[in-house]
Amino acid sequence: MVASGARSDSDDETDNTLLSTANRRAFRRTTMVFGVASLLGDTLMGAIYTARIDYERSDRLDITRKSGCSLGKVFAPSWAILGPAIAARRMGTESAESWAEYEREYLKELRASYRTQRQAWTDLLGRQQVTLCCYCNLKLVGDRCHRLLLADVLTKLGATYAGER
Ligand SMILES: [Zn+2]
């Protein structure tokens, strides 16, 4: 199959080598969604870290539906996509397909919130340093975690991902 026409995300291909295979798809998709959206322009954007929920320093932002603050909840997946994902994880039936579905739906929700709750995004990106927290133990789930997906999205908007705490 021959790709038709130049892709707007081709400039980001080199960056992809830094990403895990699992995140690469999300990264590409994110680039297409947010790539034209460097709307915050020249604002200096901060460093994004990720951590488990028990991280306690003042730069933490709980981005879970369950316990996030009002800002954090803007970036939390809805119960609609969270319910099946949690159930699958509990029953041990999570699969590449179920994760891909979750990822797709979560990115869709982020796109929507980016349109409808722009101020929250501006607030988040305006922070010098923020640590995105959720309940996942990456040792158990690898990179199947929304805090990593959100960190990727934020890098497309100019932030720097500084790693897992
Ligand atoms: Zn998570």
CA distances from 72 to 7, 41, 44 (A): 33, 23, 21
Q: What residues does 60 pair with on adjacent strands?
A: 131
Residues 52-79 have pLDDT tens digits of 999 999 999 999 999 999 999 999 999 9
Number of domains in the chain: 1
List pLDDT tens digits, range 83-111: 999 999 999 999 999 999 999 999 999 99
Decide: 157 and 85 in contact? Cβ < 8 Å: no
Using the mean position of ligand 1's atoms as its centre, give its distance from the Cα of residue 2 in Å: 36
20 inside domain? no
In the block, residue with structure tokens 């397909």: 97
| CA of 14 relative to ligand 1 center, distance in Å | 27
Query: Does residue 29 belong to any structural domain of this protein?
Result: no
Residue 19 lies inside a defined structural domain of this protein? no
Q: Report if residue 141 sits inside a domain.
A: yes
Q: Report CA(133)–ligand 1 centroid distance (Å).
A: 8
Residue 70's domain comprises 59-165
Whether the full predicted model's pTM is greater than 0.85, yes or no, is: no
